[in-house]
Structure 1
Amino acid sequence: MEKNHVFDQIPDYLDGNLNKSAKTAFEKHVNQCADCQKEMEEMKMFFNLFEEEVPTPSNRLRAKFESALEREKSNQGKVVHMSGKKSSNWTASTLKIAASFALLVAAFQLGSLFQQRKVSDDIVQLQDEANQMKQTAMLSLMENQSASKRIQGVNYIEEFEQPDEAIIQALANRLLYDENDNVRMTAFEALANFSSSETVKNAFIEALGQEKNPSIQVAIIQALVQIQEKKAAEPMKKLLEKEDTQPFIKNQIRAVLPSIT
């Protein structure tokens, strides 16, 4: 439920209106979701505005108000003495005004809260659209007839902190099938940053069995040894058996093979 936020359940949760199972699921999600945690804290602040007591006006403030009111009534030609009952009504009116003001402030804050959420959603949407454009440009460049353009496309990987499977697979295809040595080496270097991916591991193992460029062979061997990929042992043994495998490659394999078998 990482992406399925529970914003709409927060008021019911704070009011205690969720049943036991819904409450458990809600709390489990909020404990794992920073966005929902922030949303609930802001909603709590909003609810607290209605729970706070409005302070009773001080005697000094009341006296000033009564004095000003008496003067206003005198100016109108009527004199009305304020009794204890009138004072009580004044306090009630003041409390109503204060409560209305608190409600106005709370409504403003709630409007700001929802506006901030809308802005955040808009930013996320714009970021997603920008990433889609970058991905389209990257994949298009990697299919270009020019080797330099394909290298440029591979280097676009720097624009993605967490590339999706489509990008990883496109890079793997460059490593496995590109006719240009420089493109394959660049693709390998890009994939090496995501060596925990099963797609990347499998691509390295497959490439090791078919790669002819000694520099790329050495780089792949070192990467597979570094991540202790035991499935790489078989293609390494096959390279030892091939007559056209460079002697220094065989020496490299003999030196590292025991560490992964």
Structure 2
Amino acid sequence: MDNNQFYDQIPDYLDGRLNPSEKNRFEQHLEQSEDFKKEVEEMKSFLQVMDQSVPVPSDRLKSRFEQVLEQEKAERGKVVQLGSKASSMWAGNVLKIAASIALLVAAFQMGSLFQQRKVNEDIAQLQNETNQMKQTAMLSLMENQSASKRIQGVNFIEEFERPDEAIIQALSNRLLYDENDNVRMTAFEALVKFTSSETVKNTFIEVLEKEKNPSIQVSIIQALVQIQEKKAAEPMKKLLEKDDTQPFIKEQIKAVLPSIS
């Protein structure tokens, strides 16, 4: 039986797409023809190589086919000249198939890349919109007439890994100008996590010059000393000169002032 009538079924056979009747006839012919069986094995080996490597036809692939063809010629000799020619044509067809597969895979990969990029952009946009909503809620709460609501707004800082300047400035205003001691202390506790910010450093120094609550004064002094902020030395000296500065605050300043002067 002629191989050609079964040749076109090789890909479907290897992919398991033949119906039972077709598969039975195909396998019967496969058992009867050694040449056809070799072609099927070569096609199977080729597809396995395609699955295991980068799907781009290369010189190595062409060289492999040429080696196989030369081996075929050496084994069959002059008796199978026509067969060798057919094998050469088959090799050329397989290279074309490889090129087509490479184009399909490349198109698929490019499509996947663009799709993933679109998903990433959508996620980034959603995160940005969510952060904007959180920021709006935070700033609104910090302007509320209720001190407990303002504290709630300050505590919203936990929702931001890297708060922007608008949030830092809003917290600084709470620390500088809020009339409630608890709100100011909560604002300080929020800002102390961001002492690398020049806005925060300057706010602490400014607060130190006007703050009357001893607990907040001590907390700010400790924070400024910890970051070795030398600009804090002058406002600390002024606190030492003020009559209304608590004695234990003065003792605290005297103990730490040499380390930043």
2:58 corresponds to: 52
What amino acid sits opposite 2:197 in the alignment?
A: S
1:146 corresponds to: 146
1:239 corresponds to: 239
2:195 corresponds to: 195
What amino acid sits opposite 2:219 in the alignment?
A: A
What amino acid sits opposite 1:126 in the alignment?
A: L
Q: Residues 107-118 of structure 1 correspond to what in structure 2 (within 5 A)?
A: 107-118=107-118
What is the Cα deviation at residue 84 of structure 1? 3.4
Structure 2: how far apart are the matches of 1:176 and 1:105?
62
What is the Cα deviation at residue 51 of structure 1? 5.5
Structure 1: how far apart are the matches of 2:244 and 2:221?
17
Corresponding position: 1:128 with 2:133: no
Structure 2: how far apart are the matches of 1:183 and 1:51?
69
**Paired residue total:** 194
Q: Residues 19-168 of structure 1 correspond to what in structure 2 (within 5 A)?
A: 49-50=55-56, 52-53=58-59, 54=61, 56=65, 83-168=83-168
What amino acid sits opposite 1:234 in the alignment?
A: E
Describe the SS at the equivalent of 2:189. Answer: helix
Percent of aligned positions that are identical? 77
Structure 2: how far apart are the matches of 1:110 and 1:150?
50
Structure 2 gap segments, 5+ residues each: 1-53, 73-80
Q: CA RMSD in A?
A: 1.9
Q: Is the 8 Å Cα contact of residues 175 and 185 (structure 2) preserved in structure 1?
A: yes
What amino acid sits opposite 1:255 in the alignment?
A: A
Structure 2: how far apart are the matches of 1:51 and 1:253?
76
Structure 2: how far apart are the matches of 1:51 and 1:125?
40
What is the Cα deviation at residue 102 of structure 1? 2.1
What amino acid sits opposite 2:201 in the alignment?
A: K
2:8 corresponds to: none
Corresponding position: 1:206 with 2:226: no
Q: Is the 8 Å Cα contact of residues 56 and 95 (structure 1) preserved in structure 2?
A: no
What is the Cα deviation at residue 82 of structure 1? 5.1
1:29 corresponds to: none
Q: Is the 8 Å Cα contact of residues 175 and 184 (structure 2) preserved in structure 1?
A: yes
Structure 1: how far apart are the matches of 2:233 and 2:97?
80
Structure 2: how far apart are the matches of 1:238 and 1:94?
88
Q: Is the 8 Å Cα contact of residues 230 and 260 (structure 2) preserved in structure 1?
A: yes
What is the Cα deviation at residue 206 of structure 1? 0.4
What amino acid sits opposite 1:110 in the alignment?
A: M
1:181 corresponds to: 181
What amino acid sits opposite 1:93 in the alignment?
A: N
Cα deviation code 1:224-248 (max 9, x no counterpart): 1111111111111111111111111
Corresponding position: 1:217 with 2:213: no
Bigger radius of gyration: 2
Q: TM-score, normalised by structure 2?
A: 0.70
What is the Cα deviation at residue 90 of structure 1? 2.1
1:252 corresponds to: 252
What is the Cα deviation at residue 101 of structure 1? 1.5
What amino acid sits opposite 2:120 in the alignment?
A: S
Structure 1 gap segments, 5+ residues each: 1-47, 63-80
What is the Cα deviation at residue 114 of structure 1? 1.3
Q: Residues 11-22 of structure 1 correspond to what in structure 2 (within 5 A)?
A: none
Structure 2: how far apart are the matches of 1:49 and 1:228?
59
Describe the SS at the equivalent of 2:56. Answer: helix
